[in-house]
Amino acid sequence: MTAPQTYTPAPAADFVLPFSMPHLGIRGRVVRLDSVSARALSAHELPEAAGRTLGEALVLTTMLGSSLKLDGRLTLQTKTSGPMDLLAVDYYGADEDRDRAGLRGYARVDEAKVAALGDEARAFRNLAGAGVLCITIEPKLGDQSYQGIVALSPDSIAASAEAYFWQSEQLPTAIKLAAAPAYVPGDKTPTWRAGGIMLQAIPEKDRSEDDWNRLSMFLETIEDMELLDTDLAAEDLLWRLFHEDEVHVHTPEPLDFYCGCDGERIARILRSYSAEDREGLADPDGIIRARCEFCGVVHAVAPKDLSSAN
């Protein structure tokens, strides 16, 4: 394994670590989330199966967004017929206001339907049902937005992303994701951890089909705990998997939870409505309260905030 001379090892969690095997025409990323995933999943109490899927989606969106060096936002969204009929994750690239990329996520779940499924809800095909995976890229400046849509795989959200890359770019891709509630001694409430690793063919690079199949098989041997264990360094995980090959690790990129919800923007939107349209939106005290589904923050808009003078 090789690294830049000034290389700083990846932190225990909340990072994305790019790596490559240029002689094989393959690149990849390792992601591990701890405080970021815990914060993202704290806004709503979800059934465990839905929490696992949202945690995996946070990791997958990090892989996609960070690979683009994005100055803007990448959104991963599913719309389906199952009890978890909507899932949305946003990746915000670092900019002049934030020196780290940010993540947020939300899953909408019909808990009664999940309860009726019982243990069958653990299967992704039963939780999500039929639907689509949509990836939207919104650059902050310059380039136009891009949107790609693929049918959701009944197997997993990772399998859906693999199909997306093959259909949109003809790039062989292998992804392994994991998420689980982590229990800390003395605390009855678990926090969520999530992690994953991705391998992908480098465009316009020659590669051996045998090498690709061999490395993809190595990826399948990873245990969920290896992806989630904050005591296992990402570099050590790569060594376990690919010590027979020359792996180049690049500079790790730290991640934060970030939500762009804005109370003033909500007030501006409400001011554009007529008084009749706003009828019935306020609580008995006259204040309109809007709860952000991503972070759980409740924005209070008072009558004075709705005057045209603001």
pLDDT value of position 123:
95
pTM for this prediction: 0.93
Beta strand 248-249 pairing with 15-21: antiparallel
pLDDT value of position 310:
52
Q: How many CB atoms lie within 10 A of CB 276?
A: 7
Q: CA dist 154 to 70, 82, 124, Å?
A: 29, 11, 6
Per-residue model confidence as pLDDT tens for the chain (310 residues): 777 778 899 999 999 999 999 999 999 999 999 999 999 999 988 999 999 999 999 999 999 999 988 889 999 999 999 999 999 999 999 988 889 999 999 999 999 999 999 999 999 999 999 999 999 999 877 678 889 999 999 999 999 999 999 988 888 999 999 999 988 788 777 889 999 999 999 988 888 899 999 999 999 999 999 999 999 999 999 999 999 999 999 999 999 999 988 888 888 888 888 888 888 888 999 899 999 999 999 999 988 888 765 5
Question: Is 60:223 a contact under the CB 8 Å cutoff?
Answer: no
18: alpha, beta or left, given left = phi > 0 and alpha = psi -120 to 50?
beta
Spatial distance between the Cα atoms of 254 and 259, rounded to a whole number of angstroms: 16
